[in-house]
Amino acid sequence: MAVIAPRRAMCATTHHPAAHNPVFHAPSHVPGHTAASNVAGGGGLHRPAIVGRAQPPRPLIMLDPGHGGKDPGAIGVSGTYEKHVAEAAAAELERQLVSSGRYRVAMTRADDRFIPLEGRVDLAHAHKASLFISMHADALHDRLVRGASVYTLSSHASDAQAAAIARSENSADRFGGPQVHATSPEVQEILASLVTEETRHGAAHMASSIVSSFRPRISLLTHPARHASFVVLKSADIPSVLVEMGFMSNHLDEAALRQSAHRMVVAGAMVQAIDRYFASASMVTRVTG
């Protein structure tokens, strides 16, 4: 059984070429336009400039491995930390996305460090992300429950289980000490109200795409597309989803998530879902580079 160890990197917010992770590709050169002129009769008349067909910018995906540093997240039945599973899975997804040549990728963290919840959203805005994906493997009191699920933002939870997971994830800032002040529930509600309908639609579309990609190959919860009031999903203009890859409280889910082969399957399904999301005509305007 493979043991997940923290992944080391030089930068936590984006990737540059390095010996340990040479997968970040610099943006392709975009040719500028050329112009031809024809002065006729000394009148100084110029032909119109010929503008080349520039490639559209590749969308930037912000991956957010949950927890980190002094916040271990859920602890599995055999002692595996959620923060390590989330980081390893996000690293594999990053590898597959960049290898496809269709996307740029940034990470909220690429090593074992603590980042406040709102700081993760700020990083997505700073990178002008087209999509935000937070990756987790939580725990429940009922150890028999297993399977993946996907969450979008809502002021009211879809069910009691979703509400409990949101409470657990939203409490992560307590590890940040007194210098990290979690937003009050009142302010959180105001922030949630600022999320545009277009952003909500994009998030729901992405969640549905992930569920469709997971269904043939990864065990899912009953009604796997759920919603609750997650702090990390409260970007007003970046479609955001939280993926629970399974539950560390279930020995089968934990054992699977410890294996690199299973994480490759999870990442492959998510790449397929992301491809479907950006292929949708309604999502073309979301690509801002």
Q: Please say if the pLDDT value at position 51 is more than 70.
A: no
Both structure tokens of 114: 């603590």
CB-based burial label for 119 (10 Å; 0-12, 13-18, 19+): middle
Helices (H), 136-243: 160-170, 185-193, 197-214
Give me the numbers of helices (H) and strands (E) for the chain, helices first please: 7, 6
Pair 183, 118: CB distance under 8 Å: yes
Pair 224, 116: CB distance under 8 Å: no
Per-residue confidence (pLDDT) for residue 219, from 0 to 100: 96
Per-residue confidence (pLDDT) for residue 181, from 0 to 100: 53
Both structure tokens of 54: 């520039």
| pLDDT band for position 196 (cuts 50, 70, 90) | confident
Both structure tokens of 239: 């479609």
Q: What is the pLDDT of residues 218-277, one digit of tens each?
A: 999 999 999 999 999 999 899 999 999 999 999 999 999 999 999 999 999 999 999 999
Q: CA-CA distance, 210 to 133, in Å (whole number)?
A: 11
Mean of pLDDT over the chain: 82
| pLDDT band for position 171 (cuts 50, 70, 90) | confident
